[in-house]
């Protein structure tokens, strides 16, 4: 992250949202992976698909899937592989 005010606001929001939901805070790498996936979906599928896909990724991880493996599979799906 570049250290911009928006980045700081997002980081603070994620910390507060995790606390509110009783979740461990996301690492910067986890947060970046989710944002990268959302960007790929928004640009290559449909913008409204980004939050839906992020939710589906969260459900999969909540059910035991590895974050990076699940994210990679979705990115490959977006890429048509």
Its pTM stands at 0.84
> Closest Cα partner for 41 from 52, 32, 26?
52
* 41-64 pLDDT tens trace: 999 999 999 999 999 999 999 999
Using DSSP, state whether 56 is helix, strand or coil. helix
DSSP state of 48: T
* 4-48 pLDDT tens trace: 899 899 999 999 999 999 999 999 899 999 999 999 999 999 999
């Amino acid at each position: 992250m570049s250290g911009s005010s928006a980045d700081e606001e997002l980081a603070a929001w994620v910390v507060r949202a995790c606390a509110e939901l009783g979740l461990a805070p996301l690492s910067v790498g986890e947060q970046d992976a989710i944002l990268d996936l959302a960007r790929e979906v928004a640009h290559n599928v449909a913008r409204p698909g980004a939050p839906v896909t992020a939710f589906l990724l969260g459900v999969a991880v909540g059910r035991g899937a590895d974050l990076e493996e699940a994210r990679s599979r979705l990115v490959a799906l977006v890429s048509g592989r």
